[in-house]
Amino acid sequence: MTDVSQTGGQLLDLAADVLQQTQTLIDRSLSVLKEKTVENGRLSTEKLDSYQLVSYELSLSWAECCAARFMLEHSRQSNDEFTNRLCALFCAEAVSAVCARLRARLADFELADEDIRAVLNGEAASAFLASQLSAANIAAIGQDVVDRGPNLGPDLLEDRYTMMRDSFHRFADEVVMPLAESVHREDLIIPEAILGPLKEMGVFGLSIPESYGGLQEDDKEDTLGMIIVTEELSRGSLGAAGSLITRPEILARALLKGGTQEQKQHWLPQLAVGEPLCAVAVTEPNYGSDVAGVKLKATPTEGGWLLNGAKTWCTFGGKAGVLMVLARTNPDPAAGHRGLSMFLVEKPSSDGHEFEVTPQTGGKLTGRAISTLGYRGMHSYELFFDDFFVPASNMMGGAEGEGRGFYLAMAGFAGGRIQTAGRAVGVMRAAFEKSISYSKERVVFKHAIGDYQLTQVKLARMAAHLAACRQITYGVARLMDEGKGDMEASGAKLFTCKTAEWVTREALQIHGGMGYAEEVPVSRYFVDARVLSIFEGAEETLALKVITRSLVENAA
């Protein structure tokens, strides 16, 4: 049997080899799916929809392998023994999970059991998987986690990013965490004690160029910097801090893509300092991820437009002073997404769970906060527009922006997926840290629970998955700063958000009965993590309509 007891380059080479063999199985299945769903040289949406389970599982498998590849690349660069061990464990678990997924429905993927055995039972692969997935190996990693604490090895960040991380790490510890529980349990709006200092730290200008008063260089984006800040704030609290950057980033991207020069000069400097705060109103009661189906009507009137209809899940819609609203300016249903336009709707800021706006220009806008099991602090609102007047100057892009709303929305959401991956990593880190400390403190049958093998196994697997999620998020952020990585961003969002649910579940389980008590933060992490797979593209829509579609179109 091949000796895989050594760490370092040889171990990573084995992991890379078995991972590549697994990826080959995915590629073969994608090629088969392409043959079934392409007609006359074009992918048929209707045919692809008849293979939804296959599509979903191929997307998830691809995303999991993608995370493993980014983790492998990071491990090779770090040359750190503990990082290598986490990497090898994650790769072994990823290969096992993907092969089990494929083996469960061989006929659907048009594979044979021999194909799976060829990957798993080769001499080197078999020895690698056996050694990495053994209880002894995983428990030994878990014991190291208990001894090391939450340190996952070198992060290889540049000095400026390290300084940025350390600054927001301290802010999360000293300001956000002491307030997070009361915000969650009492369903409060984010307090000024959090908002004020973040405005001074420039957090709302991270996605806005320096020429418009932001912190981003004019000639390039800094997605990685945004991710690092998002991760640290989400570690403090997803609802009370971690999602604050999302809305100004979406609006800033849309304005930079299609706003008039006057609109950019007017709005971007204000957004950069968080005055006003903003929200995004795109989702409707019957149209979530299907943005092209938006029905809120915008009817031309003297000097502007009248908005009529409803929006839902408008996060921070009460506190916000400006809403980015997608509306239908062309009533012809045949116009589809080409009949949509984007508006900047100004309103007074409100801290309440309900608000009503009746401007002198006529009409009414009302809002009601939706009760949610988690993700509290920003409040998500249902909005109702009744002949609400918006001046023509507030159509994004001016007169030339009519009919371009869908494209501006897509430009705005471009960074939302990878940012959501960053939020997931932050929530996982918080849960992981609490789990380690509790495993040392909680004594059962005269031993700290961290001394028991099953707890050690849980901590080791949490560490490996967290490390992989962090590296795919950082790696994709770097790609996006180079103008690439859109597909990988979707994969990162899909995999990290699903993983966050599992990691926070394990953290709660380690805490036992106390984990179910609201007074313990892990209960908040658990309910907060659940929303991550829903917003910024529900995981099913992301897998079926974005990832699989692109993978099939590019399959050999």
Distance CA 301, CA 268 (A): 27
290 φψ region: left (φ > 0), alpha (ψ -120 to 50), beta (else): beta
Peptide bond into 276 cis (omega under 30): yes
Q: Are strands 443-444 and 447-448 parallel, antiparallel or unpaired?
A: antiparallel
Dihedral angle at the C-alpha atoms of 71, 76, 82, 83, nearest 10 degrees? -20
Distance CA 64, CA 495 (A): 6
Distance CA 66, CA 72 (A): 10
39's tokens:
């007609």
> Do 427 and 234 contact (CB within 8 A), yes or no?
yes
- Give the DSSP H/E element, type plus range, for residue 325: strand 322-328
CA distances from 318 to 287, 314, 333, 419, 528 (A): 21, 9, 31, 23, 20
> Do 230 and 242 contact (CB within 8 A), yes or no?
yes
The distance from CA 330 to its chain's CA centroid, rounded to whole angstroms, is: 33
496's tokens:
């990290």
Distance CA 472, CA 68 (A): 8
> Residue 301's beta-bridge partner residues?
304
**AA identity, residue 364:** K
- Give the DSSP H/E element, type plus range, for residue 260: none
3-state helix/strand/coil string of 1-40 = CCCCCCCCHHHHHHHHHHHHHHHHHHHHHHHHHHHHHEEC
Distance CA 442, CA 337 (A): 56
Gyration radius of the chain's alpha carbons: 24
Q: Where are the alpha helices (DSSP H) in 442-485?
A: 453-481
> Do 245 and 207 contact (CB within 8 A), yes or no?
yes
Q: Which of the residues 536, 539, 540, 553 is marked catalytic? A: 536
Distance CA 295, CA 333 (A): 9
Residue of 434, 433, 425, 539 whose CA lies nearest to 471: 425
Residue of 410, 391, 387 whose CA lies nearest to 399: 391
149's tokens:
């604490």
Residues 6+ apart with CB under 8 A from 178: none
281's tokens:
């109103």
**AA identity, residue 314:** C
The number of residues making up the chain comes to 556
| Residue 519 annotated to the active site | no
> Which residues are known to be catalytic?
536
